[in-house]
A and B are shown apart, each in its own frame.
Chain A
Amino acid sequence: MTGRGDSAEQEWVDDHAGPVVRPYAVTGGRARPVTGTFDLISLVTSTRTDVGSESGLGPEHVAIVGLCQRILSVAEIAAHLDLPVGTVRVLLGDLAARSLVQVREPRATTAGLPDEHVFEAVINGLRAL
């Protein structure tokens, strides 16, 4: 990521360089969230309407708090901010550590298929669309 040496530098002059460098800068070079795992479909909601007075938050943090006034998945946040999911996970970890967002992980993913009533609810929900 530092562009040391000729070969590394050449890697970053093509069109694909931008989207990689910026997310990395957004997180201050961090690759993992300070807390939480954040599945693609973990649901997130802000606990506050305004975080303008909080110090140490970047514009992307503030943007997430703004977006999550309604309940959104990690994937949706990433799509709306046009940032890679990994970057959004780091930012969400910062916010969760400050209790600025509430997170609901998807139903237990290791226990196999969910209860029958979940299937029935989805089938009924789809029929009602």
Chain B
Amino acid sequence: MDYGRSERPAGAAPLPTAIKILIAGGFGVGKTTMVGAVSETRPLRTEEVLTETGIGIDDLSGIEEKSTTTVAMDFGRITISDDLVLYLFGTPGQDRFWFVWDELALGALGAVVLADTRRLADCFPSIDYFEGRGTPFVVAVNCFEGAKQFRLDEVQAALDLDPDVPVVLCDARERESAKEVLITLLEHAMKLREARRRAAED
């Protein structure tokens, strides 16, 4: 839906389209680090103010009797072309903010679930969420110094992942590494999209 364009000069270039990818995972796993590694500027932070019940995001009417809470999201931007802008959103970590995830996941190309092998269980909720939603995702094992090195198939088994879900090693601080993770995700999402299209045709 476009609106408010009446004073736009005739012949002006159309606005680009925005798309997004989510970076999920447990607290302290490196989500914002990865966003910053690959974005064109330092990560920005945006906040949603919510009522305690979590119903009706941004609805401030009648909140006299409720306390409010603020959910912060770190994000970054990559200008792909004149007509395509990619945003990377780090998901808020706390489980009670799932309804914020719903807003973020809507229309997302896919998600990167960052994992730390020292605290592998921290990424279970993210994986459960994206599996349940049917959002394409990959698991990227952030290689912290001092962390025990696991084989990727061990991680895959430990996470009880569908064998089609890519599991890759990464260094969330490194631009090239973060880029590779995103490309792996997009290729996986394309395959999934094609498979679903075929399944719908049968």
Chain A residues at the B interface, C-beta cutoff of 8 Å: 1-2, 4, 8, 11, 16, 19-20, 23-24, 29, 31-32, 35-37, 39-43, 45, 47-48, 71, 73, 75-76, 78-80, 84-87, 89, 95-97, 99-109, 112-114, 116, 118-123, 125-127, 129
Q: What's the Cα separation between A19 and B71 when bound, in Å?
A: 12
| Residue interface bits B136-165, CB-to-A below 8 A is 1, else 0 | 100000000000000000000000000000
| Number of residue pairs spanning A and B whose beta carbons lie under 8 angstroms apart | 187
A114 → B minimal CB distance (Å): 7
Stretch with Cβ within 8 A of A (4 or more), from B23-31, B43-51, B112-120, B121-129: B43-51
What are 18 pairs between A and B in contact, CB < 8 Å?
Answer: A19-B47, A41-B19, A47-B5, A75-B44, A84-B48, A97-B4, A102-B15, A106-B19, A106-B20, A107-B18, A118-B19, A119-B190, A119-B193, A121-B81, A122-B80, A125-B84, A126-B78, A126-B183
**Cβ-defined partner of B5 (8 Å) among A1, A4, A78, A102:** A102
Main secondary structure on B side of the interface with A: mixed
With A114-B109, A116-B193: A35-B85 Cβ-Cβ less than 8 Å: no
A94 → B minimal CB distance (Å): 11
- Is A42 a contact partner of B18 (Cβ separation < 8 A)? yes
A80 → B minimal CB distance (Å): 8
**Cβ-defined partner of A40 (8 Å) among B64, B103, B196:** B103
Verify if B86 is at the interface (C-beta below 8 Å from A).
yes
B175 → A minimal CB distance (Å): 8
- Is A31 a contact partner of B61 (Cβ separation < 8 A)? yes
- Is A1 a contact partner of B4 (Cβ separation < 8 A)? no
**Cβ-defined partner of B77 (8 Å) among A73, A78, A106, A121:** A73
With A101-B4, A109-B106, A125-B81: A89-B58 Cβ-Cβ less than 8 Å: yes
With A2-B64, A31-B60, A32-B58: A104-B17 Cβ-Cβ less than 8 Å: yes
Q: What's the Cα separation between A121 and B81 when bound, in Å?
A: 8
Given contacts A29-B60, A40-B104, A71-B16, list 12 more A-B pairs with CB under 8 A: A37-B1, A43-B16, A43-B85, A85-B46, A85-B58, A97-B4, A102-B2, A104-B14, A105-B2, A112-B193, A122-B186, A126-B80
Residue numbers in A under 8 Å from B63 (CB-CB): 1
B141 → A minimal CB distance (Å): 20
Which residues of chain B in 55-106 are interfacial with respect to chain A, using CB atoms and an 8 Å cutoff?
Answer: 57-61, 63-65, 67-68, 70, 73, 75, 77-78, 80-81, 84-87, 89, 103-104, 106
Q: What's the Cα separation between A4 and B190 when bound, in Å?
A: 55
